[in-house]
Copies of this chain bind each other. A is one copy, B any other.
Amino acid sequence: MNTFGNIFRLTTFGESHGAAIGGVVDGMPPGIDIDMDFIQAELARRRPGQSRLTTARKEADQVELLSGVFEGKSTGQPIGFIVRNENQHSQDYENLRDVFRPSHADYTYWTKYGIRDHRGGGRSSARETIARVVGGALAKLVLRQLGIRVTAWTQQVGPIACDRDYTQLDLSQIEQNDVRCPDPVKAQQMADLILQVKADGDTIGGVIAGVIEGCPAGLGEPAFGKLHAMLGAAMLSINAVKGFEYGDGFAMAERRGSEVKDEFMAESPAPGDACDAAMRHTAASLSLATRTNHSGGIQGGISNGQPIPFRVAFKPVATLLMPQQTFDIHGNPVTINPRGRHDPCVLPRAVPIVEAMGAMVVLDAHLQHLACRA
C-alpha cells in the first residue's frame, strides 16, 4: 500500500518519468505555520545534481501545495501536493523496455503486475521519496513546536566509518559538506571514495545514523505498535535499505545484561518542559533520566524520554555503468550497458529522507498517544 502512518498519514504517488510525484498528508494538526521556504529547503537537500557526488539529473523539484493551507496556516484538512517531473530522458531507457536489470525491481514488478513502466525504474525509482521529504517537512514543522528534533547523517560509506556517536559529534556540522557527515576528516575520505567509485562506473553502500532528541516519555504502543518497530518499518521502506538497528543494536547480542542495563537517576524538575502537549496526557508526577542509554530511549516499545539513536544500512545502488549479462521478458539472454545519470552513492541524498521518515513516525506516535487517554 502507498499510505504510511495511523493518524498522521502520508499517501504517495508518481513514477520517475511520469507527469509528477505527489502525495497527500492527512492528519496534519491545524494552526501550524506552513513555512514554504523550509519545505523547499528540505527538498533541496534531497535534490539530484546538488553536488558532484550525485547524479547529474537536473530537477528543480518545486513543490506546490494544493490544499489544506489557508492564509499560511494548516487547517487540519488534507494537504495535497505535487512536484512536476521535468528533466526525464525517457529515451535512455527505451532499450531496457523488455529487459530485467540485475538487482533492480524490474523482474519483481513484472511478475507481480504483468505490466510495468520501465522508464527510470517507474514507481520503484527513489524519486518517490520526494513525497516523503514533503511529508517529513510538514511533520517537522509540528515537531519544532513540540521541541522534538530528528537528525540524520552519513556515518559510513563503504569501509570508511565515523565511529563516534551522537554524544560525541557536533551535529551542526552535518550540512557543512556534500557527504553530510559531521566529521570533516571522514567526510573528505568518503567524498574521495565516492568519486573514485563513480569514475569506475560502480556504486557503493553505506550507513546513515540518526537520533531523535526531545522526545517525551510515553510515545509508542505496546505489542505491535512499538515505537522502534514503526521506526524500523519506516526506514526499511526506503529504497535500498537492508537493515535497521537502534540503541546498541546488533552489538547488544554480544553483551551481558549487567553490562547494558540503563540505571535511572533522578531528574530535577518534574514533568513537562519538553512537551506539554504529551504531558497533559500522562499521570506522571515525576520524570527520571538514565545514566546510560544502551536501550536507545525506548523500553517495551514506549519512549522513556532519552534520545533515540538508530542506524540504517543502505546497499550500493544497483545501476552500474558497465556491461552486464541478463535476460529479457522472453527469456532470451541479453547484454546491457547502462548509460545515463545515476548516483554512485545514495547516502548524501538519503539523509533528509531518513529524517523525514523519522519525523513522521514520531509525530504519528505523539498524535496516537493523545488518543490513548479519555
Contacts and interface: CB of A to CB of B under 8 A. Distances in A.
Contacts of A74: 115
Interface stretch (A24-32, A36-44, A55-63): A24-32
A277 interface: yes
Interface string A273-301: 00001001011111010100011101111
Contact of A104 (B242, B277, B300): B300
Contacts of A222: 2, 77, 105, 109, 123-124
A3 interface: yes
Given A70-B115, A242-B250, A229 B224 contact: no
Nearest to A221: B1
How many interface residues does chain A have, given as a range?
A: 35 or more
A220 to B, nearest CB: 8
Interface string A222-266: 111110111011101101001111111110111111111111101
Interface string A91-134: 00000000010111111111111111100001110001000000
Nearest to A7: B371
Contact of A14 (B6, B67, B315): B67
A105 B295 CA distance: 11
A252 B318 CA distance: 12
Interface string A317-346: 111101011110111010000000000000
A301 to B, nearest CB: 7
Contact of A100 (B116, B259, B264, B370): B264
B367 A260 contact: no
Interface string A363-374: 100111111111
B324 A286 contact: no
A136 interface: no
Contacts of A224: 1-4, 233, 237
Nearest to A270: B331
A302 to B, nearest CB: 4
A250 B32 contact: no
A55 to B, nearest CB: 14
A294 to B, nearest CB: 8
Nearest to A14: B67
A263 B324 contact: yes
A314 interface: yes
A313 B108 contact: no
B67 A20 contact: yes
A78 interface: yes
A26 to B, nearest CB: 5
- Identify which of A31, A78, A221, A366 gathers the most chain B CB atoms within 10 Å of its CB: A78
A302 B76 CA distance: 13
Please provide the 7 A-B residue pairs with the shortest distance between their CB atoms, ordered closest to farther.
A105-B300, A114-B283, A243-B245, A13-B80, A203-B257, A108-B302, A233-B233
18 contacts: A1-B6, A19-B67, A27-B371, A74-B115, A75-B117, A76-B373, A77-B122, A112-B372, A114-B283, A114-B373, A205-B254, A205-B257, A230-B233, A232-B244, A245-B313, A250-B313, A367-B374, A370-B373
